[in-house]
């Protein structure tokens, strides 16, 4: 692996307007979600990078509120899909219906055609429905009766997953997990923070008072700007090496895919923008390795995927600045 000195562009400060917008989104999320700093950062990065986000935790810790906060902050429309074993693919993507007025079949779009789509309890839905959502996430389109319907852009899918083992839950298939750029738990707040929520500080009460920080068009501009953040070849090699080493790590039955390498670099670009830089540093790669790779690994029982990622990150030398 190359460890040459990282050469930076002439300018060292990222576009201030987009940095301010990224930080305004971060601030909005922190007003609503107390004590979930890591989850807030991961959610902001997913939004800025144009990826999709998987929230893994028990019910009642704020997963739905987080999705609503993002949609309100971005001035974007939000659709919510409640996962359950009887959910059909057409309940998500839409269905063709016959119109007596026109004498033809017309496609009625489903909730996946919103800019922000919240799929609550994704791991309670049947495989066919998961497959329909998978196409939408990866191809940015829905196929129905031989016709492809493009989804709006930007398009952010936020899915929640209850811990496997709870009543009516099933593990998501590997191909579905791989479509999520990032994943994060929210965790329980501390006793003090939970008391603040009980006193109506934060949570839904704070959400009701939030104002939009931008428009959907501006959000799209931020994603484009994020993807132009400079990545030195040695930093890209660093990200790829971390991803590749997960495939041969002890106790790992399935490592991260090449798609994960691409996603890791894009997430690192968004992380750099949030911290006011127009270049990606090894620190950005390291910060995004845990939320970007952990959910993609299949490990033997007793091995935590996050511990595997930690071992891999510690074993790969970072490029010198």
What are the mean pLDDT values of the chain's consecutive 10-residue runs (321 residues total)?
A: 43 71 93 85 96 83 84 94 90 88 86 94 86 86 85 93 65 84 84 75 75 94 94 97 94 92 97 94 97 92 88 94 68
CATH number at residue 115: 3.40.50.300
Of 41, 62, 122, 120, residue with least CA distance to 291: 41
**DSSP per-residue letters across 206-221:** HHHT----S-HHHHHH
**255, 247 contact by CB (below 8 A):** yes
Residue closest to 272 by CA, chosen among 54, 52, 44: 44
**Strand duo 104-109 + 298-299: pairing:** unpaired
The bridge status of strand 298-299 relative to strand 78-82 is unpaired
Q: Where are the beta strands (DSSP E) in 73-197?
A: 78-82, 94-99, 104-109, 116-120, 141-144, 147-150, 156-161, 182-184
For the chain, what is the radius of gyration of the CA atoms? 20
Number of domains in the chain: 1
Q: What's the confidence (pLDDT) of residue 240?
A: 98
Residue 184 within any structural domain of the chain: yes
Q: Per the domain annotation, does 66 fall within a domain?
A: yes
67: in domain: yes
Q: Is residue 86 part of a domain?
A: yes
pTM of the full structure: 0.89
* 190 part of a folded domain: yes
Position 80 in a domain: yes
Can you give the pLDDT at residue 287? 96
How far apart are the C-alpha atoms of 179 and 285, rounded to whole Å?
A: 19
Q: How far apart are CA 55 and CA 160, in angstroms?
A: 5
> Residues 312, 245: contact at Cβ < 8 Å?
yes
List the structure tokens of 180: 């999520």
Residue 54, Cβ neighbours under 10 Å: how many? 26
Please report the pLDDT score of residue 200 as a whole number.
66
Q: Which helix (H) or strand (E) holds 62?
A: none
- The secondary structure element, H or E, covering residue 2 is none
| Full domain range(s) for residue 50 | 17-226
Residues 6+ apart with CB under 8 A from 244: 255, 261
Asked if 54 contacts 39 with a C-beta cutoff of 8 angstroms, the reply is no
> Is residue 302, in this structure, part of any structural domain at all?
no
Residues listed for the chain? 321
- Look at residue 271 in the predicted model and tell me its pLDDT: 96
Q: How far apart are CA 240 and CA 257, in angstroms?
A: 10
Q: Does 284 reside within a domain?
A: no
């Amino acid at each position: 692996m190359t460890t040459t000195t990282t050469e930076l562009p002439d300018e060292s400060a990222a576009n201030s307007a987009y940095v301010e917008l990224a930080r305004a989104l971060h601030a909005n999320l922190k007003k609503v979600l107390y004590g979930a700093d890591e989850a807030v950062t991961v959610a902001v990065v997913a939004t800025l990078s144009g990826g999709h986000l998987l929230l893994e935790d028990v019910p009642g810790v704020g997963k739905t509120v987080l999705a609503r906060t993002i949609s309100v902050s971005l001035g974007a429309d939000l659709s919510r899909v409640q996962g359950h074993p009887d959910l059909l693919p057409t309940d998500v993507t839409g269905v063709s219906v016959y119109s007596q007025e026109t004498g033809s079949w017309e496609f009625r779009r489903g909730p996946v055609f919103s800019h922000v789509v919240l799929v609550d309890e994704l791991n309670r839905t049947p495989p066919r429905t998961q497959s329909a959502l998978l196409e939408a996430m990866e191809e940015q389109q829905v196929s129905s009766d031989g016709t492809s319907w493009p989804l709006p852009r930007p398009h952010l899918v936020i899915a929640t997953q209850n811990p496997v083992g709870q009543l009516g839950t099933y593990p998501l298939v590997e191909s579905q997990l791989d479509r999520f750029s990032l994943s994060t738990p929210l965790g329980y707040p501390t006793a003090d923070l939970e008391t603040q929520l009980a006193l109506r500080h934060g949570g839904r009460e704070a959400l009701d008072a939030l104002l939009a920080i931008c428009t959907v068009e501006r959000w799209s501009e931020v994603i484009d700007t994020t993807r132009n953040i400079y990545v030195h070849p040695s930093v890209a090699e660093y990200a790829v090496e971390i991803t590749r080493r997960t495939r041969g790590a002890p106790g790992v039955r399935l490592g991260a895919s090449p798609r994960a390498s691409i996603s890791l670099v894009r997430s690192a670009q968004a992380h750099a923008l949030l911290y006011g830089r127009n270049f990606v540093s090894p620190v950005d790669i390291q910060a995004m390795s845990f939320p970007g790779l952990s959910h993609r690994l299949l490990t033997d029982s007793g091995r935590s995927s996050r511990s595997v990622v930690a071992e891999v990150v510690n074993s790969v030398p970072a490029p010198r600045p």
